[in-house]
Amino acid sequence: MKEEHVTVRWEIEDGYVGKARPQTTKIPLEEFEEDMSDSDILNLVEEYVEEDFRNTVFYGIVNEDEVVLVVQAHLARR
């Protein structure tokens, strides 16, 4: 039997223009209860998206050497 799900589309909002990279999270429809309010539904969606974000989005420092040199130079002047 094919599992039914809802696909949530979301983006990282980091303040930079033009760098949108849409993401998706699939939530099994069986996770939703009949007595859930709209707010309950959205809270569950946010939980799934937040977990997906934590598990899939990473950062990389691109100027590590420069940072170390600047800090070391600053510390040497103290």
Say how far residue 35 (Cα) sits from the centre of its chain.
28
Report which DSSP code applies to 77: T
Angle at 55 (CA atoms; ends 52, 60), nearest 5 degrees: 125
pLDDT tens, position by position, 11-59: 888 777 766 778 999 999 999 999 999 999 999 999 999 999 999 888 8
Q: At 21, which amino acid appears?
A: R
* 54: amino acid identity, one letter: R
pTM here? 0.72
Distance between alpha carbon 19 and the CA centroid of its chain, in Å? Answer: 15
Q: Check whether 70 has a pLDDT greater than 90.
A: yes
